[in-house]
Amino acid sequence: MNIAPDPAHQRACEAIDLAHAADPKRSDGESSERVYADRIASWIGRLVDNPSPELVIAARAQHLERWTIPRSSYPMDRAGYHRWRTAVQQRQGERARELLIGAGCVPDLANRVALLVSKRAPRDDADGQALEDAACLVFLANELEPFVAAHDYDRSKLIAITAKTWAKMSPKARDLAASIPLPPALADVVRQATRA
């Protein structure tokens, strides 16, 4: 997915990718954040015709420097997870704004990207929904299988988790999710979740 040929927008994407490169966690020889950003951007390209520059840049900035706030720095319970996620999202938005301003982007664009990256867009915001859709599709396509392997959840718990993901998605994202190849057991979990 290419961005409009605005030099400041291009510099912003380059600055974001440079920040991703510092992620110590690797995936397929790349920083995990860069791999995640590429996956989000790829799904945005399938979800949205002619995405705005703000959406394109926000797609690249997903999980921006998330590794700087370790999950272990918060209690390892549900409340701790939510506090950690809120702190991470707030920092991501602030950092995205900082990188965009540094790249020469206008403040309105930088503020809009920060809003999207920090997950503070209103529920009816089309760009915010597109980012949510892309995150859900990445989870189903790339993260569900390792997630299941890492957790000792029974089938009903997995169906409930997947149903929550499904509930966040737009109809178009659900249609795209149907094309994701999954192992038979996980495909059945998704089928059951869509009926929940």
Closest to 60 measured CA to CA, from 72, 81, 79, 42: 42
What are the tens digits of pLDDT across the range 165-179? Answer: 999 999 999 999 999
Residue 136 exposed, middle or buried by CB count within 10 Å (0-12, 13-18, 19+): buried
pLDDT beneath 50, residues of the chain: none
pTM as predicted = 0.92
Residue that is written with structure tokens 């950690």 in the block? 84
